[in-house]
Amino acid sequence: MGLIGALGAHLARAADAGPPLTPEGEEARRLAESELADPVYQAAEPTPIDRIARAVAEFLERLFDAEITGGWGSAFAVIAAVVVTIVIIAAFLIWGVPRATRRAPARSGELFGATETRSAAELRRDAASHAQKGEWDEAIILRFRALARGTVERGAVETPPGATVHGFARAAARAFPASADDLEAAAVAFDDVRYLRLPGTPALYRGVAEVDDRVAAARPASIEPAGAPR
């Protein structure tokens, strides 16, 4: 019920109780204060945030108003647009592209012809577990997968479905040129163990693990898809 409605209701009640009565000065003021003391009106009062937002909106409205005396509205609009553009460019230069758009998905479902959802850290841990048991074939395979998954998680290399280990090694070599030869050697080790069924050895595992560690510690030069041509 609004203030006018409350006064009307009060007058109606007074009329029912006796002769017509019109509130005068002091009585009307008392009724108004009593009605405004209702918590409903206090809740409807704008908060400090509301006032700030309104002030900002009014400022922007005046800023972009083309009818400002002397044509300054258009000039202010241009200046504001330039300032906003400079701030956005500066943010990109300082912080770079947002991480969510810069990185490829951390865990795709397919990696070198097999379903693989583990993270690089999980693959490294499992590879180390197999190495401790002397299971070198599985240790080499998992450590190479960890190498590939780690570059994907960092957004350095993409491994689309169907990418081969040698395609990955070439793409990773462009992103990490200092490790190009070792990446290809690691791909050969993976192929030998995974497809040619040659026995894995501690030396082969150490070689794959070392290149994985070096790549993980290096800064990529570019982002390359594993299926890109040489």
Residues 45, 134: Cα–Cα separation, whole Å: 74
For helices 202-217 and 120-132, angle between their N-to-C axes, nearest 10 degrees = 160
The predicted-structure confidence for 76-121, as pLDDT tens digits, reads as follows: 666 766 766 786 776 666 655 554 444 444 455 789 988 999 999 9
Residues facing 157 on adjacent strands: 224
For helices 136-153 and 202-217, angle between their N-to-C axes, nearest 10 degrees = 10
The predicted-structure confidence for 13-23, as pLDDT tens digits, reads as follows: 555 554 444 55
Q: Given the structure tokens 């990529």, which residue do they identify?
A: 220
Q: Which of 46, 82, 76, 78 is nearest to 59 (CA)?
A: 76
Please say whether the beta carbons of 180 and 173 come within 8 A.
yes
pLDDT (0 to 100) of residue 89: 78
Residues 214, 176: Cα–Cα separation, whole Å: 9
Please say whether the beta carbons of 168 and 104 come within 8 A.
no
For the chain, what is the total number of helices (H) and then of strands (E)? 11, 4
pLDDT (0 to 100) of residue 180: 96
Q: Is 49 helix (H, G, I), strand (E, B) or coil?
A: helix
pLDDT (0 to 100) of residue 194: 93
Q: Which of 140, 152, 126, 131 is nearest to 215 (CA)?
A: 152
Spans in the chain with pLDDT lower than 70 = 1-53, 55-57, 59-78, 80-81, 83-84, 87, 90-108, 222-230
